Protein backbone atom coordinates (compact mmCIF):
# COMPACT_ATOMS: atom_id res chain seq x y z
CA UNK A 1 0.00 0.00 0.00
CA UNK A 2 1.38 3.41 -0.92
CA UNK A 3 1.33 6.38 1.39
CA UNK A 4 -2.07 8.04 1.31
CA UNK A 5 -1.90 11.78 0.77
CA UNK A 6 -5.17 13.61 1.00
CA UNK A 7 -5.40 16.94 -0.74
CA UNK A 8 -7.18 20.04 0.51
CA UNK A 9 -10.40 20.98 -1.24
CA UNK A 10 -9.90 23.40 -4.09
CA UNK A 11 -11.79 26.62 -3.40
CA UNK A 12 -13.78 26.21 -6.62
CA UNK A 13 -14.64 22.57 -5.94
CA UNK A 14 -18.24 23.22 -5.00
CA UNK A 15 -18.60 26.52 -6.82
CA UNK A 16 -18.98 28.22 -3.45
CA UNK A 17 -17.52 31.58 -2.44
CA UNK A 18 -14.03 31.15 -0.97
CA UNK A 19 -14.12 32.12 2.70
CA UNK A 20 -10.86 30.42 3.55
CA UNK A 21 -8.36 32.96 2.24
CA UNK A 22 -6.83 30.14 0.22
CA UNK A 23 -5.94 28.05 3.29
CA UNK A 24 -6.24 24.24 2.90
CA UNK A 25 -9.69 23.08 4.00
CA UNK A 26 -11.35 19.70 4.19
CA UNK A 27 -14.08 18.86 1.68
CA UNK A 28 -16.34 18.10 4.65
CA UNK A 29 -15.98 19.56 8.14
CA UNK A 30 -18.61 18.75 10.78
CA UNK A 31 -18.39 20.31 14.24
CA UNK A 32 -20.79 19.34 16.98
CA UNK A 33 -23.45 18.32 14.47
CA UNK A 34 -26.72 17.41 16.14
CA UNK A 35 -29.98 16.38 14.51
CA UNK A 36 -33.10 16.07 16.58
CA UNK A 37 -36.31 14.83 14.97
CA UNK A 38 -39.47 16.11 16.62
CA UNK A 39 -42.48 13.94 15.96
CA UNK A 40 -45.47 15.10 18.00
CA UNK A 41 -44.52 14.83 21.64
CA UNK A 42 -41.45 12.68 20.97
CA UNK A 43 -37.95 13.92 20.26
CA UNK A 44 -35.31 11.60 18.80
CA UNK A 45 -31.68 12.72 18.88
CA UNK A 46 -30.40 10.90 15.78
CA UNK A 47 -27.00 12.70 15.87
CA UNK A 48 -25.56 14.00 19.12
CA UNK A 49 -22.53 16.19 18.46
CA UNK A 50 -20.59 14.72 15.55
CA UNK A 51 -17.14 16.01 14.54
CA UNK A 52 -15.74 14.79 11.22
CA UNK A 53 -13.19 15.93 8.63
CA UNK A 54 -13.01 14.42 5.16
CA UNK A 55 -10.23 15.57 2.80
CA UNK A 56 -10.26 15.48 -0.96
CA UNK A 57 -9.32 12.05 -2.30
CA UNK A 58 -10.43 10.24 0.84
CA UNK A 59 -12.49 7.04 0.74
CA UNK A 60 -14.25 6.88 4.10
CA UNK A 61 -16.69 4.29 5.40
CA UNK A 62 -19.16 5.31 8.08
CA UNK A 63 -20.12 2.07 9.81
CA UNK A 64 -22.83 1.39 12.34
CA UNK A 65 -25.85 -0.77 13.15
CA UNK A 66 -29.40 -0.02 12.06
CA UNK A 67 -30.80 3.06 13.79
CA UNK A 68 -27.38 4.49 14.73
CA UNK A 69 -27.84 7.65 12.62
CA UNK A 70 -26.11 6.76 9.34
CA UNK A 71 -28.87 7.91 6.97
CA UNK A 72 -29.38 11.07 8.99
CA UNK A 73 -25.67 11.75 8.53
CA UNK A 74 -25.87 11.04 4.79
CA UNK A 75 -28.80 13.45 4.43
CA UNK A 76 -26.85 16.18 6.18
CA UNK A 77 -23.60 15.50 4.28
CA UNK A 78 -25.59 15.58 1.04
CA UNK A 79 -27.28 18.87 1.95
CA UNK A 80 -30.69 17.18 1.82
CA UNK A 81 -31.21 18.13 5.47
CA UNK A 82 -29.68 20.61 7.90
CA UNK A 83 -28.29 20.10 11.41
CA UNK A 84 -30.45 21.17 14.35
CA UNK A 85 -27.22 22.45 15.96
CA UNK A 86 -23.52 22.53 15.14
CA UNK A 87 -21.82 23.51 11.91
CA UNK A 88 -21.20 21.93 8.53
CA UNK A 89 -18.61 23.48 6.23
CA UNK A 90 -18.55 22.12 2.69
CA UNK A 91 -15.33 23.04 0.89
CA UNK A 92 -14.82 25.69 3.59
CA UNK A 93 -18.25 27.33 3.24
CA UNK A 94 -20.68 27.13 6.19
CA UNK A 95 -23.84 25.68 4.67
CA UNK A 96 -26.01 27.51 7.19
CA UNK A 97 -25.26 30.65 5.13
CA UNK A 98 -26.72 29.12 1.98
CA UNK A 99 -30.37 29.20 0.90
CA UNK A 100 -32.20 26.00 0.02
CA UNK A 101 -31.88 26.94 -3.66
CA UNK A 102 -28.11 27.40 -3.30
CA UNK A 103 -27.88 24.02 -1.59
CA UNK A 104 -29.87 22.35 -4.37
CA UNK A 105 -27.48 23.87 -6.91
CA UNK A 106 -24.42 22.65 -4.97
CA UNK A 107 -25.97 19.19 -4.72
CA UNK A 108 -26.64 18.99 -8.44
CA UNK A 109 -23.22 20.24 -9.43
CA UNK A 110 -20.90 18.66 -6.90
CA UNK A 111 -22.44 15.65 -5.15
CA UNK A 112 -23.39 12.27 -6.60
CA UNK A 113 -25.75 10.01 -4.63
CA UNK A 114 -26.01 6.21 -4.66
CA UNK A 115 -28.79 4.61 -2.62
CA UNK A 116 -29.56 1.07 -1.46
CA UNK A 117 -32.79 0.99 -3.46
CA UNK A 118 -31.20 2.48 -6.64
CA UNK A 119 -33.90 5.21 -6.88
CA UNK A 120 -34.05 5.06 -10.69
CA UNK A 121 -36.98 6.56 -12.59
CA UNK A 122 -39.32 3.67 -13.51
CA UNK A 123 -40.42 3.12 -17.13
CA UNK A 124 -37.46 5.26 -18.18
CA UNK A 125 -34.47 3.98 -20.15
CA UNK A 126 -31.03 3.67 -18.59
CA UNK A 127 -29.85 6.39 -20.97
CA UNK A 128 -32.59 8.83 -19.89
CA UNK A 129 -32.03 8.03 -16.21
CA UNK A 130 -28.34 8.88 -16.53
CA UNK A 131 -28.86 11.95 -18.75
CA UNK A 132 -31.42 13.58 -16.42
CA UNK A 133 -29.03 15.21 -13.86
CA UNK A 134 -27.39 17.09 -16.73
CA UNK A 135 -30.73 18.63 -17.72
CA UNK A 136 -30.67 20.69 -14.52
CA UNK A 137 -27.25 22.01 -15.43
CA UNK A 138 -28.35 23.36 -18.77
CA UNK A 139 -26.24 20.90 -20.79
CA UNK A 140 -27.42 20.60 -24.42
CA UNK A 141 -29.46 17.56 -25.39
CA UNK A 142 -26.75 16.24 -27.68
CA UNK A 143 -24.07 16.52 -25.00
CA UNK A 144 -26.39 15.04 -22.32
CA UNK A 145 -26.88 11.87 -24.33
CA UNK A 146 -23.24 11.63 -25.36
CA UNK A 147 -22.09 11.89 -21.74
CA UNK A 148 -24.79 9.50 -20.46
CA UNK A 149 -23.84 6.94 -23.08
CA UNK A 150 -20.14 7.26 -22.22
CA UNK A 151 -20.89 6.83 -18.49
CA UNK A 152 -22.98 3.70 -19.13
CA UNK A 153 -20.33 2.26 -21.42
CA UNK A 154 -17.70 2.90 -18.76
CA UNK A 155 -19.80 0.79 -16.37
CA UNK A 156 -20.17 -2.04 -18.89
CA UNK A 157 -23.77 -1.22 -19.81
CA UNK A 158 -23.21 -0.20 -23.42
CA UNK A 159 -25.60 -2.96 -24.51
CA UNK A 160 -28.34 -1.86 -22.09
CA UNK A 161 -28.81 1.82 -22.98
CA UNK A 162 -32.48 1.45 -23.88
CA UNK A 163 -33.48 -0.99 -21.14
CA UNK A 164 -35.79 0.20 -18.39
CA UNK A 165 -35.01 -0.55 -14.72
CA UNK A 166 -37.54 -3.43 -14.59
CA UNK A 167 -35.64 -5.07 -17.47
CA UNK A 168 -32.31 -4.99 -15.59
CA UNK A 169 -30.86 -7.07 -12.73
CA UNK A 170 -30.24 -5.44 -9.35
CA UNK A 171 -26.52 -5.22 -10.05
CA UNK A 172 -27.17 -3.60 -13.43
CA UNK A 173 -29.65 -1.14 -11.89
CA UNK A 174 -27.06 -0.11 -9.31
CA UNK A 175 -24.51 0.40 -12.09
CA UNK A 176 -27.01 2.66 -13.87
CA UNK A 177 -27.41 4.56 -10.59
CA UNK A 178 -23.61 4.91 -10.31
CA UNK A 179 -23.44 6.13 -13.92
CA UNK A 180 -26.09 8.72 -13.00
CA UNK A 181 -24.07 9.74 -9.92
CA UNK A 182 -20.84 10.22 -11.87
CA UNK A 183 -22.14 11.76 -15.11
CA UNK A 184 -21.97 15.25 -13.58
CA UNK A 185 -18.34 14.58 -12.53
CA UNK A 186 -19.06 15.34 -8.87
CA UNK A 187 -16.29 16.12 -6.39
CA UNK A 188 -18.00 13.94 -3.78
CA UNK A 189 -19.94 10.68 -3.99
CA UNK A 190 -22.18 9.65 -1.10
CA UNK A 191 -23.26 6.02 -1.12
CA UNK A 192 -25.81 4.82 1.48
CA UNK A 193 -25.78 0.99 1.74
CA UNK A 194 -25.05 0.72 -2.01
CA UNK A 195 -24.60 -3.06 -1.80
CA UNK A 196 -27.55 -3.65 0.54
CA UNK A 197 -29.88 -5.06 -2.12
CA UNK A 198 -27.25 -6.90 -4.17
CA UNK A 199 -25.86 -10.43 -4.28
CA UNK A 200 -22.23 -10.66 -3.18
CA UNK A 201 -20.74 -10.67 -6.70
CA UNK A 202 -22.70 -7.55 -7.77
CA UNK A 203 -21.86 -5.94 -4.43
CA UNK A 204 -18.15 -6.59 -5.01
CA UNK A 205 -18.46 -5.04 -8.49
CA UNK A 206 -20.01 -1.90 -6.98
CA UNK A 207 -17.21 -1.60 -4.41
CA UNK A 208 -14.65 -2.09 -7.18
CA UNK A 209 -16.26 0.74 -9.16
CA UNK A 210 -16.14 3.04 -6.13
CA UNK A 211 -12.42 2.25 -5.85
CA UNK A 212 -11.88 3.17 -9.50
CA UNK A 213 -13.71 6.48 -9.05
CA UNK A 214 -11.66 7.20 -5.94
CA UNK A 215 -8.42 6.39 -7.77
CA UNK A 216 -9.47 8.96 -10.38
CA UNK A 217 -9.77 11.61 -7.65
CA UNK A 218 -13.39 11.51 -6.44
CA UNK A 219 -13.87 11.76 -2.68
CA UNK A 220 -16.13 8.94 -1.49
CA UNK A 221 -18.17 8.50 1.67
CA UNK A 222 -19.64 5.01 1.93
CA UNK A 223 -22.28 4.35 4.56
CA UNK A 224 -22.91 0.77 5.64
CA UNK A 225 -23.85 -1.53 8.50
CA UNK A 226 -21.66 -4.26 6.96
CA UNK A 227 -18.13 -4.47 8.39
CA UNK A 228 -16.86 -6.43 5.37
CA UNK A 229 -18.10 -3.73 3.00
CA UNK A 230 -16.57 -1.05 5.23
CA UNK A 231 -13.18 -2.80 5.07
CA UNK A 232 -13.07 -1.95 1.37
CA UNK A 233 -12.72 1.75 2.18
CA UNK A 234 -9.37 3.34 3.06
CA UNK A 235 -10.56 4.37 6.50
CA UNK A 236 -13.52 3.71 8.76
CA UNK A 237 -15.36 5.64 11.45
CA UNK A 238 -17.98 3.95 13.60
CA UNK A 239 -21.30 5.48 14.56
CA UNK A 240 -23.29 4.35 17.62
CA UNK A 241 -26.41 6.02 18.97
CA UNK A 242 -25.70 9.22 17.08
CA UNK A 243 -22.06 9.51 18.16
CA UNK A 244 -18.87 8.86 16.21
CA UNK A 245 -16.26 6.53 17.67
CA UNK A 246 -13.20 6.39 15.43
N1 LIG B 1 -37.78 11.41 9.88
C2 LIG B 1 -37.59 10.90 11.10
N3 LIG B 1 -38.43 11.21 12.12
C4 LIG B 1 -38.23 10.73 13.36
N5 LIG B 1 -37.22 9.89 13.70
C6 LIG B 1 -36.36 9.53 12.73
C7 LIG B 1 -36.50 10.02 11.38
N8 LIG B 1 -35.48 9.49 10.64
C9 LIG B 1 -34.76 8.73 11.48
N10 LIG B 1 -35.27 8.75 12.73
C11 LIG B 1 -34.72 8.07 13.92
O12 LIG B 1 -33.38 8.50 14.08
C13 LIG B 1 -32.54 7.41 14.44
C14 LIG B 1 -31.44 7.26 13.38
O15 LIG B 1 -32.04 6.85 12.15
P16 LIG B 1 -31.22 6.67 10.81
O17 LIG B 1 -30.37 7.85 10.60
O18 LIG B 1 -32.18 6.31 9.71
O19 LIG B 1 -30.29 5.39 11.16
P20 LIG B 1 -29.58 4.31 10.23
O21 LIG B 1 -29.51 4.83 8.83
O22 LIG B 1 -28.24 4.13 10.87
O23 LIG B 1 -30.40 3.06 10.32
C24 LIG B 1 -33.43 6.20 14.58
O25 LIG B 1 -33.78 6.09 15.95
C26 LIG B 1 -34.64 6.55 13.75
O27 LIG B 1 -35.79 5.91 14.24
MG1 LIG C 1 -30.09 3.98 7.01
- Alpha helices of the chain — where are they, by DSSP H? 70-77, 100-110, 126-135, 141-154, 170-182, 200-215, 227-231
User: In this predicted model, which residue has the larger pLDDT, 216 or 17?
Assistant: 216
- On whether the CB atoms of residues 192 and 114 are closer than 8 A, the answer is yes
Provide the CATH topology of domain 59-75+99-234: Rossmann fold (3.40.50)
Q: Which residue stretches of 15-120 are H helix? A: 70-77, 100-110
Q: Using a cut of 0.85, tell me whether the model's pTM lies above it.
A: yes
% the chain with pLDDT above 70? 94
| Listed residue (68, 74, 62, 67) closest to 237, CA to CA | 62
**Across residues 118-140, what is the average pLDDT?**
95
Relative to the CA of 225, which ligand 1 atom is closest? 22
- CB-ligand 1 contact for 37 (6 Å cutoff): yes
From 65, 68, 69, 230, give the residue whose CB has the most ligand 1 atoms within 8 Å, as the site to mutate.
Answer: 69
Ligand nearest to the CA of 243: 1
- pLDDT, residue 3, reads 41
Ligand 1 pocket member 72 (CB < 6 A): yes
Residue 178 in this model has a pLDDT that exceeds 90: yes
The span from the CA of 176 to the CA of 195, in Å, is: 14
pLDDT digits (tens, 9 = 90+) for 13-64: 677 777 777 777 899 999 999 999 998 889 999 999 999 999 999 999 999 9
Amino acid sequence: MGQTVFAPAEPSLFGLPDQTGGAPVPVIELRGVTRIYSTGRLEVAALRGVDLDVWQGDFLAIVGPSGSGKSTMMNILGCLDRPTAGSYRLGGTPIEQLSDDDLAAVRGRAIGFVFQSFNLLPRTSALDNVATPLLYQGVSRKERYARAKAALERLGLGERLHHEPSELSGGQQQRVAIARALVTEPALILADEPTGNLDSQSGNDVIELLHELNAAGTTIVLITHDLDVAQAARRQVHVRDGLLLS
